[in-house]
Structures are given as C-alpha cells and as structure tokens.
Amino acid sequence: QQAQLKMLRYQLNPHFLFNTLNAISTLVLDQKTGPANTMLTRLSRFLRYSLDNDPMQKVTVATEVEALKLYLDIEKVRFEERLQLYFDIDPTARSALMPSLLLQPLVENSIKYAISVAIGGGSISVSALVAGDQLVLSVADDGPGLDHRPDKARKSGGVGLVNCRERLREIYGNRQSVRLGATRPHGLTVTIRIPL
C-alpha cells in the first residue's frame, strides 16, 4: 500500500513538465530572459516542494494551498491575464489535514481542458470548508464542461482525476467521495469529501 501511494504521489504529469519547459524555451528564443528566469525559479520551487514532502504524510489545507499557488505561479507566466484564480478557504478548514498535492492534478486538468482552449482564458476557483465530520474540497472552472472534453477525458475525467481517486481510495477506503458536477452557467466542478 505504501509503495502504491508513493507511486501515485510521485507521478508528475509529463504534460505539465513538457509544457513548462516548452514555454521557457519559447521565452528564451524570444530573448525574454526575465520571464524565462522567473518561470525556471518557480518550476524549481514547485519541484523541490513535491520531492521534499513525504507522500505518506498528510499536510494542512493551508500548506496545500501554498503548494498549489507555487504551481499556479508557473502557469500565470504562461497564461498571464487569461488565467483568473480564486481561493475560498474557510478559516475552520485551514488546519485540517489532507493528502499532499491532491488538488494540483485537478487544477492542471482545468488548465488543460478549460483555460488553454478558450481564446479569452477563464477562471479556476479552489475552495475548502468543514461540513460536520468531513472536509469538503472543490476545484471549479468555467470551461466548456465535461460534455465537450475528448472521449477519453470525458469517461475518466482525465489522468489527474484517476490518480486522485486511487490515492483517496488507498488512504480512506470507502470513507471518501469524488463527485463531478456542472459549474453554472458552464464548466466543471470536482468535489472531494474526506474524513476531517
């Protein structure tokens, strides 16, 4: 079980790394050394965080949000004003424990399927709250929604969601849930419930 959890946690999405390095390469070719250096520094910080943290240990929601911001800082260099970010973290949820880097693949899915395909970009909202004895986490985007994603992504929700489901199943068994829903007026919301 520990080996399975570590394998799932260390699966850094090759698309993310490829896209980031590609974006840095483009900036260098355009002689935009300032933004290229910024992006490299942010990538380094994010990779260091992802490698330094023991995948068997849980982190607070506040720590997870900071790690998510490290990742989103990289994407902000790529998308600039086309990517709008919103965080709604209830104070009672900040100290709750959760698996580390659980939300990053979900946000990455939103960027891939919602932000990058829209000419004007879009927004991603991350929220956390406590409901009784559960921690409720959600990632929502205002993209086209699940119906307009490629067949493979529509059936499974993408690699990030499959990884997320497997990790939660390994850690919490049946005491967790992952639900896909529509964001109004359009988009996708992924809601996770785990024991508080």
Overall pTM > 0.75: yes
Nearest in space to 158 (alpha carbons), one of 84, 192, 99, 108: 108
Q: Per residue in 13-43, pLDDT tens? A: 677 788 889 989 999 999 999 999 999 999 9
Q: Per residue in 58-97, pLDDT tens? A: 999 999 999 999 899 888 888 888 999 999 999 999 999 9
Q: Per residue in 109-149, pLDDT tens? A: 899 888 888 888 899 999 999 999 999 999 999 988 877 55
Question: What per-residue confidence (pLDDT) applies to 156?
Answer: 47
How remote is the C-alpha of 117 from its chain's centroid? Answer: 17
Bridge partners, 86 (sequence order): 125
| C-alpha–C-alpha distance, residues 165 and 145, integer Å | 19
Residue predicted with more confidence, 194 or 167: 194
Burial class (CB in 10 A: 0-12, 13-18, 19+), 69: middle
Band of pLDDT at residue 10, cut at 50, 70 and 90: low
- What Cα–Cα distance (Å) separates residue 116 from each residue in 19, 98, 162? 11, 28, 21
Q: Under a CB-based contact definition with an 8 Å cutoff, are residues 182 and 141 in contact?
A: no
